[in-house]
Amino acid sequence: MTVFTSEYFTMKEEHAVEYAKTKLDYFTSDAVLTCKEIGDGNLNYVFRIVDEKSGKSIIIKQAGPVARISDEFKLSTDRNRIESEILKLQAQLAPGFVPKMYHYDPIMNCCVMEDLSQYEIMRTALMKHKKFPLFADHISSFMVQTLLLTSDVVMGHKEKKELVKSFTNPELCEITEDLVYTEPFYDCPRNDVFEASLDFVKEHIWGDEKLALETAKLKFEFMTNAQSLLHGDLHTGSIFIKEDATKVIDPEFAFYGPAGYDVGNVIANLIFAYVNAKYTLENPEAKAEQLGYLENTIVDTIDLFADKFLKAWDENVTDHAAKYPGFKEYYLNTILRDTAAVTGLELCRRIIGLAHVKDVTAIEDRASRAAAEKICLSAGKAFIMGRENIKTGDDFLKIVQTYAQNN
Q: What confidence tier does 79 reach under pLDDT thresholds 50, 70, 90?
A: confident
Identify the band that residue 166 occupies on the pLDDT scale cut at 50, 70 and 90: confident
> What is the pLDDT averaged over residues 239-257?
93
User: Starting from the edge strand earliest in sequence, which strands make up the sheet with 239-242, in order?
Assistant: 120-121, 239-242, 245-248
Quick check: 342 pLDDT over 70? yes
Average pLDDT of span 87-99: 96
Specify the pLDDT at position 250: 87
Per the rule left: phi > 0, alpha: psi between -120 and 50, beta: everything else, 96 is left
Instruction: Name, in order, each residue with C-beta under 8 angstroms of 262's C-beta and a sequence gap of 6 or more.
Output: 143, 146, 147, 230, 231, 232, 234
Q: Over the stretch 25-53, which tens digit does the pLDDT of each residue have?
A: 999 999 999 999 987 655 788 999 999 99
Q: How confident is the model at residue 81 (pLDDT cuts 50, 70, 90)?
A: confident
Q: What is the CATH number of domain 13-114?
A: 3.30.200.20
pLDDT of residue 49: 97
13 band by pLDDT with thresholds 50, 70 and 90: very high
Residue 103, H or E segment: strand 101-105
| pLDDT of the residue at 326 | 98
What pLDDT, on the 0 to 100 scale, is given for residue 362?
98
Contact present, 204 and 376 (Cβ < 8 Å): no
Residues 214, 228, 235, 12: is their CA dihedral positive or negative? positive
Superfamily of chain region 120-405: Aminoglycoside phosphotransferase (APH), C-terminal lobe (3.90.1200.10)
- Cα dihedral 380, 151, 217, 182, rounded to 10, equals -60
- What's phi and psi for 45, nearest 5 deg? -110, 130
Vertex 337: Cα angle to 332 and 343 (nearest 5): 120
Segments making up each domain of the chain, as ranges? 13-114, 120-405
Question: Are 6 and 106 in contact, with CB atoms under 8 Å apart?
Answer: no
